Structure 1
Amino acid sequence: MTEVLFYHLTVSTLEDALPGLLERSVSRGWRAVVQTSSEERRNAIDTVLWTFRDDSFLAHGLDSEPNAGEQPILLTTGPENDNSAQIRFLVDGAPPPDLGSYERGVLLFDGHDKAQLAAARSHWRELKEQGHAVTYWQQTEDRRWERKA
């Protein structure tokens, strides 16, 4: 089954944490898909990935653009895996599709948002029942990830 990591954001925002996680995924040779809960959030993350650091950018595209399947990182609102990604990021409470074809799934959720916390708990139960190897990581004050479960 798929390894599924739950990342509990307590210090950083999604916009601060996501680019670094995507960089690590791409450096492994993986393609990534990032699923958001709305087109508005998808478009906001698109802007972040172009501007998050002056000396770098992450090559990516939107599911609504031509040649979406060729992108190393694809931003989407749907369950499809148009770029044949090995890792799927779910943000803003986006519901997980079938994760069985991925090497890894990553759910990032804002620890200050009650709706996202509730969704993460629900997704944890569902994914564990499906037989996925789930782990829970909480952010420390110095913005590192500490495994809690």
Structure 2
Amino acid sequence: MGQVNFYHLTYSAPEQVVSNLAARAIEQGWKIELRGRDLARLDQLDLRLWQMGEASFLPHGKAGGPHDGLQPLLLTTFPAGDARDALMALDGAEVSAADTETHKRVWILFDGNDAQALNVARGQWRALTGAGAKAAYWSEESGRWEKKAES
């Protein structure tokens, strides 16, 4: 069972956290599924990732193309179904206990300024740790990332 890391965003933009986490994983040769709930939001994220510039460029693509399996970072609203090393979930995208068994790492990013997002993340924590997943909770409320809890 892979490690699940919950990221409580209060200062950083989701695009920046996605970029930082994904860049390190891609450097290790990992393929990442970035799962969202809304196609329009993924289109927006896709555009932002392209606009970040050469210094922070992440090779990526949206699911549904002919080369999905080749994409280091695949943006999708559904489970990718191929052998991805990691899963990054945004905006309350569903993550199951089975996802923690098939991925080396799962990141759940949520907006700490949104009460609904907090409730969804709390429910995901209870469900995943209840199923036996090892989880860590990271917060940036102090202005830098700190591990606040782990199961």
Deviation at 1:16, TM superposition (A): 2.3
Match of 2:14 in 1: 14
Q: 1:135: which partner in 2?
A: 136
Amino acid at match of 1:132: A
Match of 2:71 in 1: 71
Aligned residue pair count: 147
Range 13-22 or range 102-111, more displaced: 13-22
Could you tell me which runs of 5 or more consecutive residues in structure 1 were left unpaired when the two chains were aligned: none
Counterpart-to-counterpart distance in 1, 2:125 and 2:119: 10
Structure whose residues are more often helix by fraction: 2
Contact 2:19–2:56, Cα closer than 8 Å, also in 1: no
The answer (yes or no) to whether the contact 2:32–2:87 under 8 Å persists in 1 is yes
Q: SS of the counterpart of 2:103?
A: coil
Uncovered stretches (5+) of structure 2, i.e. residues with no partner: none
For 1:92, give the aligned amino acid.
Answer: D
Report what 1:3 is aligned to: 3
State the TM-score, normalizing by the size of structure 1. Answer: 0.93
Is 1:113 matched up with 2:120? no
Q: Is the 8 A contact 2:63 2:76 kept in 1?
A: yes
Structure 1 residue 87, shift from structure 2 partner:
0.7
Shift of 1:112: 0.6
| Cα separation, 1, equivalents of 2:35 and 2:105 | 14
Alpha-carbon distance in structure 2 between the residues aligned to 1:111 and 1:33: 22
**Offset at 1:80?**
2.7
How far, CA to CA, are the matches of 2:36 and 2:108 in structure 1?
Answer: 11
Counterpart residue identity of residue 72, structure 2: P
Residue aligning to 1:146: 146
Q: Indicate the percent of aligned positions where both proteins have the same amino acid.
A: 37
Other-structure match for 2:26? 26
Moved more, 5-14 or 45-54: 45-54
CA RMSD across the alignment: 1.3
Question: Partners in 2 of 1:52 and 1:33 — Cα distance?
Answer: 19
CA distance in 2, matches of 1:37, 1:107: 13
